[in-house]
Structure 1
Amino acid sequence: MDNRAQTSAEFILLFGGIFVVVLLVIYMYNGYIDDLGGQIQSKEVSEFNSQLKILEEYFK
Structure 2
Amino acid sequence: MRILKEEKGQSAAEYILLFGGIIVIVIAAAIYYKNYLSGMGNDVNKTDVKNINNSLTSLLPKFS
TM-score by length of 2: 0.61
Which stretches in structure 2 are left out of the alignment for 5+ residues?
Answer: 55-64
User: Is the aligned partner of 1:34 residue 2:38?
Assistant: yes
Map Cα deviations across residues 1-60 of structure 1 (whole Å, 9 max, x no partner).
Answer: 531100000000000000000000110110111011022134258x57xx7xxxxxxxxx
Q: Percent identity?
A: 33
Per the alignment, residue 18 of structure 1 pairs with 22
Distance in 2, matches of 1:4 and 1:44, equals: 57
Q: Secondary structure of the residue that 2:7 maps to in structure 1?
A: helix
TM-score by length of 1: 0.65
Which stretches in structure 1 are left out of the alignment for 5+ residues?
Answer: 52-60
Amino acid of the structure 2 residue aligned with 1:5: G
Runs of 4+ that moved beyond 4 A: none
Equivalent in 11, 23, 47 of residue 7 of structure 1: 11
